[in-house]
Amino acid sequence: MSITINGGVPDWFVDKFKDDVYQVCQQRESLLAGACAREPITAEATSFDMIGKVELQAKVGRNVETPKNSPNASRRWIFTDPWHTAFQFDMDDDLQMKLNQSGATVEAIRYGRNRKIDDIVIAAFDATVASGRRSNTSSITWASAGGDTAYTRTSGGRTIIHDCAVGNCSSADTGMTVEKIQLVKEYFMKNEVPADEPIFGLIAPEKGTDLWGQEEYVNADYNTDQPLATLTYLKRWGGINWIVSNKVVAGTANDIGLDTNVYKCWFWAKSGMVLGVADEMTVRMSDLPDQSYDQQVYVHINMGAMRHDEDKICVVECQ
């Protein structure tokens, strides 16, 4: 049975369409949404507190004075923004065809929503973070937190540069190599990221091709999967959950030396990034009387992302 707008769209069809959109988005979530600590947000600006390391002292003797410990505390703020779009259908369109669960409209909504969520998270990796008791008190930039400093074993930097010569790396290792991945793991271990916390890596398709050239990635002696047999990227390898996205592109003179075009591939522990969700998704359908009673499908989300802990985030430059 075809359903047209003539006479109004039945309530049951509107409800079914909304359910279909929600279901499709839940089944096939954005690439990065599940790689962040997800927090419900009820205000436009919401704070998250961090407590520094707590040190225990030796107890020497009986009835000694209780030690006083005042760990460092810091507060960061996350802001959400609304994003929306709408589709319009003529009253003579067959909505059963246009709006079915496997149809182009539902898929377009899913892709659009998921791409926007990925954009929000990617922009937050090196964005300025509001901090302090109130959201306008102070701020933390990626650079001020050591983000634009080359990683060495003594520098405290957070960027593994494209021609690094640290550990097993040599200046010839300019792509995504096993040696750079070793440094990523070293970075997180030095910063005491719990071994059981998931680590994610966001790379460009071109850097996924680099991995196919690494013996440890393709050789069955090192892993049980055979990515070259099917030319697929491994979702988990080397203790890292790999996310391949065409949103990672080479910049122009964008390395920390500002003289080389590089891909910036981000690596992070899940709790290092926060995705704040004020509105997962709202879908509405309504008539437009001034446009021949066309049917409008309206989609709205409200989200924001924040870098929560620089010790749990690093970036790898690749040519």
Task: State pLDDT tens for residues 59-109.
Answer: 989 999 998 887 788 899 999 999 999 888 877 776 666 666 657 778 888
Of 39-43, 245-249, 270-274, the poorest mean pLDDT is in: 39-43
Mean pLDDT of 285-298: 83
- Please name the residue ranges forming H helices in the chain: 11-27, 95-98, 104-124, 178-190, 205-212, 215-218, 227-230
- The pLDDT, as a whole number, for residue 155 is 85
CATH of region 11-51+74-129+275-307, choose from 1.10.3210, 3.30.2400, 3.90.320, 3.30.1380: 3.30.2400
The Cα-based distances of 83 to 25, 191, 283, 292 in angstroms read: 16, 36, 12, 27
Mean pLDDT of 279-300: 86
> pLDDT tens digits for 294-308?
888 889 999 999 999
In the predicted model, is pLDDT for residue 5 greater than 60?
no
Q: Which residues are within 8 A (CB) of 196 and not within 5 positions of it... i.e. 6 or more apart?
A: none
Q: What's the token pair of residue 32?
A: 């990065």
CA angle 117, 50, 152 (to 5 degrees): 80
In the predicted model, is pLDDT for residue 181 greater than 90?
yes
The kind and range of the H/E element at 201 are strand 199-203
CA atoms within 13 A on the CB side of 49: 6
pLDDT higher at 233 or 49: 49
CA nearest to 315, candidates 148, 163, 159: 159
Mean pLDDT of 12-28: 75
- The pLDDT, as a whole number, for residue 106 is 81
CA nearest to 299, candidates 110, 81, 27: 110
pLDDT higher at 76 or 4: 76
Domain ranges of the chain: 11-51+74-129+275-307, 146-273+309-318
> pLDDT tens digits for 117-144?
999 999 999 999 999 988 878 999 999 9
Q: Which residues are within 8 A (CB) of 68 and not within 5 positions of it... i.e. 6 or more apart?
A: none
